[in-house]
């Protein structure tokens, strides 16, 4: 029992630390990639190639004044950023980074927990993410925050449905909710092939759920200043950003697990394969940001309810056909 708890805690801190580090460098990678795609160098002043930029950003945010507006509802104003971060961190618990490896004579899985309800757990936890936004918008007592918060939460709940329905297709193929069993079910062919429509729906909805371009209306600078976190400063502001970038990692991890065969791959160790696939998905999201212009709010909601939702339901009804074609039934 003691050994179990020690291994669990060590794993937790290693995974948490590794994700935080990856996340800080994804912020840099995003700025660099966006820069090069627009033929400009991106940050390159702090350290070689700007490699110390994320650290400088972190220190700067830490040393900024922590402003709590007069009229804000103080308790909720402080809780909201934490509520934005916590669900993001919680999803990391079930992401299977790699199968068991032997460390110091012990078999240790490179994931924190493989629960029976894996996907459902992720679906449930990510549905909590909306609170940070609603509460931030409500507690700031600022018009921009309120409008941004309301728009953003309506957007999140709309796209969450399509996301959940896209998952149903994967579950039908794997016959299990456990993340590890889903990877094992993809021994033959990755689910991106038979579940191609599901994959497109999932990744579109995920980008919308993350409030990223082209669905980043709540933060549309030109109309809403910064949306729900207009009034936030210092580390409280950073919490929203941390939450967003950790979510990018976990969504990429989920896409890798559900559609890209997880850790499986030839020659290289499984963990390396998982990271390569994960970073490829992250790159894809940054690429999308560099490519597409922002939607209008009415287009966004119409797209979510009138295109994506019916498409995701159609995907469920068509999945048996795909399963027949690919010999799963």
Partner 1 sequence: MINYLPILALFVLAIAFAFGTILLSHLIGPKNSYKEKLSPYECGMPPVGNTRERFPIKFYIIAMLFIIFDIEGVFMIPWAVVFKRLGMFGFIEMAVFIAILLIGLAYVWKKGALEWE
Partner 2 sequence: MELLLFYIFGGVAVLASLGLVTGKNPVHSALFMVVVFFVIAALFVLLGAEFLAAAQILVYAGAIMVLFLFVIMLLRLQPEELRNTSRHAFQKFFGIVLSLVLMAQIALIVRGGFFKGAKGNYTPEVVSGFGGNTEAVAAVLFTDYLFPFELTSLILLMAMVGAVVLTKKELK
| Residues 162-221 contacting partner 1, CB under 8 A | 164-165, 167-169, 171-172, 175-177
Using the rule CB under 8 A, which residue among 26, 72, 135, 249 binds partner 2? 135
* Contact present, 98 and 270 (Cβ < 8 Å): yes
Per CB under 8 A, which of residues 283..302 are in contact with partner 1? 297-298, 301-302
Applying the rule CB under 8 A, the residues between 101 and 130 that interact with partner 2 are 115-117, 120-121, 123-125, 127-128, 130
Helix (H, G, I), strand (E, B) or coil at 163: helix
Compute the least distance from the CB of residue 115 to partner 2, in Å: 7
Structure tokens at 249: 């990692």
Report the C-alpha gap between 218 and 198 in whole angstroms: 26
- Smallest distance, partner 1 to C-beta of residue 83, A: 8
Helix (H) or strand (E) holding 287: helix 270-291
Nearer to partner 1, 25 or 123 (CB): 123
CA dihedral 282, 305, 261, 243 (to 10 degrees): 40
* Phi, psi (degrees; rounded to nearest 5) at 243: -60, -45
The site string for partner 2 over 28-67 (x = CB under 8 A, - otherwise) reads: ----------------------------------------
Measured from the CB atom, is 42 or 216 closer to partner 1? 216
DSSP string, 1-22: -HHHHHHHHHHHHHHHHHHHHH
Interface with partner 2, residue 131, by CB under 8 A: yes
Rule CB under 8 A: is residue 228 a binding residue for partner 2?
A: no
């Amino acid at each position: 029992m003691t050994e179990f708890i020690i291994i669990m805690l060590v794993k937790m801190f290693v995974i948490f630390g590794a994700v935080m580090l990856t996340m800080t460098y994804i912020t840099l990678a995003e700025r660099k990639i966006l820069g090069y795609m627009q033929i400009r160098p991106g940050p390159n002043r702090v350290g070689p190639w700007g490699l110390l930029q994320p650290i400088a950003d972190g220190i700067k945010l830490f040393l900024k004044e922590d402003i709590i507006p007069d009229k804000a509802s103080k308790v909720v104003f402080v809780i909201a950023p934490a509520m934005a971060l916590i669900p993001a961190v919680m999803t990391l618990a079930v992401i299977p980074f790699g199968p068991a490896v032997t460390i110091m004579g012990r078999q240790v899985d490179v994931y924190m927990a493989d629960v029976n309800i894996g996907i459902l757990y992720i679906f449930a936890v990510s549905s909590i993410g909306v609170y940070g936004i609603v509460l931030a918008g409500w507690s700031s007592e600022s018009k921009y925050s309120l409008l941004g918060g309301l728009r953003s939460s309506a957007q999140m709940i709309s796209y969450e449905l399509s996301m959940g329905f896209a998952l149903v297709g994967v579950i039908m193929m794997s016959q299990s909710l456990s993340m590890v069993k889903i990877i094992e079910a993809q021994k033959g062919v990755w689910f991106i092939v038979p579940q191609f429509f599901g994959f497109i729906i999932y990744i579109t909805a995920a980008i919308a759920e993350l409030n990223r371009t082209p669905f980043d209306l709540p933060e549309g600078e030109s109309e809403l200043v910064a949306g729900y976190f207009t009034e936030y400063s210092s580390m409280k502001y950073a919490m929203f950003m941390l939450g967003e970038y950790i979510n990018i990692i976990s969504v990429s991890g989920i896409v890798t697990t559900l559609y890209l065969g997880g850790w499986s791959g030839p020659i290289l160790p499984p963990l390396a394969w998982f990271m390569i696939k994960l970073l490829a998905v992250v790159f894809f999201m940054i690429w999308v940001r560099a490519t597409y212009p922002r939607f209008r709010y009415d287009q966004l909601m119409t797209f979510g309810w009138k295109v994506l939702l019916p498409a995701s339901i159609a995907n469920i009804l068509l999945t048996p056909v795909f399963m027949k074609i690919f010999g799963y039934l």
